[in-house]
Amino acid sequence: MIDSIRTFLESTGIARLIDSGWLPSLQTLVMLLIAGVLVYLAIGKGFEPLLLLPIAVGMLLTNLPGGGMFHLDLFLQPEVDYLEVFRTGGLLDLLYLGVKLGIYPCLIFIGIGAMTDFTPLISNPKSLLIGAGAQLGVFVAFSGALMSGQFTGAEAASIGIIGGADGPTAILVTKTLAPDLLGAIAIAAYSYMALIPLIQPPLMKLLTTKKERSIRMTELRKVSFVEKIVFPLVVTAVVGLIVPDALALIGCLMFGNLLNVCGVTDRLSKTVQNGLMNAVTVFLGISVGATASAENFLRGETLLIIALGLVAFCISTVGGLLTAKVMCKLTGGKINPLIGSAGVSAVPMAARVSQKLGQQEDPGNFLLMHAMGPNVAGVIGSAVAAGVLLAFY
């Protein structure tokens, strides 16, 4: 009886925590604390709750000693032994297969495509250039990470893509190039996306004049049904031909959009926007959170990743704003540079920030639809940037 009780007590998480030594125990407690902070940010502050909450729970599950729910080492080998994953893996190992094989980010992109209205972009295709300019942060952060000497080219590329302000894109690149950094990069990417209303406005005010912020843009033209149908097909073909590594993301994004605009697949469109998107978001969040184990997360590089991620976001915002300012000059003041900051993907939060700042200067100025053009162009731009980085590494 006493032996049974002793065996049971030795199998508890508390005993394992104590047995693991003071440093690993402390690290585990810190990770549990971080998971708690993320839960608070998601529920208490409403920061990207749909993703931060599953990430926090994944982090909690993976760091509780003895659970054995996730084994990142199974996936870090050059040739993953999938039979071994099925034989010895826990629930989170099996869910992580969707990340490792690049399935979840693509399925999420189908849902995003179905939920996104591309008509502001088709109506004003010049916005595409702003979406391109707003990828500057990706490459500046990549350069910073590489030149710091702390990261390989592949790891630096994964850090840089945080500047694309697109969670699924960051996850797809990182799972391919630097899977051991996935937890830190995903958490940084989603946290900064949630903090856009705090990060962007100071930069927007700094780089624009009061006169520029007050510019009223002309109404967008109507987009025909044929244009809406041809647009996703053309984007898929062009991007696929020039940057094939971006085809998985762009193809899925445009497929989702086609389901939405064609008018004959409403059931499919609603399914990918709701049921599929929600289910995949749960699987993606919880399995990405599971990669944030103490030994992977609590290291000096994580702080550097978080700092470089912030640099990437800021420089991307600056890149978009400067591109919009140049376009403002070239068009004789027809473009409000505030829409430039929306070039950093993060739909529709970044566009809302442009609208809000525009209305602070002129309450009658409605920039939201004009900012949605660069915003969705940023999604395409960040996918192309991801394709370029994947092609290099």
Partner 1 sequence: MKDMVWIALTANGNSFAENALEALNVTLVGMVTIFAVLALLWGIIELLHRILSSGKALAKEGKAGKAEPPVSPAPTAPAASPAAQTGDDGALIAAITAAVSAAMAEEGYTGGFRVVSFRRVPPRGQGRF
Contact positions with partner 1 (CB under 8 A) in 36-55: none
Among the residue ranges 123-131, 170-178, 269-277, 344-352, the one whose residues contact partner 1 (CB under 8 A): 123-131
Cα of 337 vs its chain's centroid, Å: 24
- Residues 226/234, Cβ–Cβ less than 8 Å: no
Residue 380 sits in the site that holds partner 1 (CB under 8 A) = yes
Binder to partner 1 among 242, 279, 303, 330 (CB under 8 A)? Answer: 242
Contact positions with partner 1 (CB under 8 A) in 153-172: 153, 156-157
Question: What is the pattern of x (binds partner 1, CB under 8 A) and - over residues 170-209?
Answer: ----------------------------------------
Shortest Cβ 67–partner 1 spacing (Å): 33
Binder to partner 1 among 230, 279, 303, 330 (CB under 8 A)? Answer: 230
Distance CA 162, CA 166 (A): 7
Cα of 215 vs its chain's centroid, Å: 31
Distance CA 136, CA 165 (A): 12
Among the residue ranges 10-18, 45-53, 72-80, 222-230, the one whose residues contact partner 1 (CB under 8 A): 222-230
Distance CA 318, CA 207 (A): 8
Nearest to 252 by CA among 106, 69, 94: 106
Residue 297 sits in the site that holds partner 1 (CB under 8 A) = no
Tokens of 381: 């731009």
Binder to partner 1 among 39, 55, 92, 129 (CB under 8 A)? Answer: 129
Among the residue ranges 9-17, 221-229, 285-293, 329-337, the one whose residues contact partner 1 (CB under 8 A): 221-229
Cα of 52 vs its chain's centroid, Å: 12
Binder to partner 1 among 60, 61, 215, 385 (CB under 8 A)? Answer: 385
Distance CA 36, CA 65 (A): 16
- How many residues appear in the chain? 393
- Residues 67/43, Cβ–Cβ less than 8 Å: no
Residue 152 sits in the site that holds partner 1 (CB under 8 A) = yes
The three-state secondary structure class of 277 is helix
Shortest Cβ 26–partner 1 spacing (Å): 25
Compare residues 117 and 227 and give the one whose CB is closer to partner 1: 227
Tokens of 327: 């376009």
Residue 335 sits in the site that holds partner 1 (CB under 8 A) = no
Distance CA 334, CA 239 (A): 29
Phi and psi torsions of 377, nearest 5°: -65, -35
Q: To 10 degrees, the CA torsion angle through 75, 78, 81, 82?
A: 60
Among the residue ranges 6-14, 61-69, 199-207, 223-231, the one whose residues contact partner 1 (CB under 8 A): 223-231
Shortest Cβ 331–partner 1 spacing (Å): 14
Residue 328 sits in the site that holds partner 1 (CB under 8 A) = no
- Residues 236/254, Cβ–Cβ less than 8 Å: yes
- Residues 104/168, Cβ–Cβ less than 8 Å: yes
Residue 381 sits in the site that holds partner 1 (CB under 8 A) = yes
Footprint on this chain of partner 1 (rule: CB under 8 A): 122, 125-126, 128-129, 131-133, 135-136, 138-140, 142-143, 146-147, 149-153, 156-157, 224, 226-227, 230-231, 234-235, 238-239, 242-243, 377, 380-381, 384-385, 388-389, 392
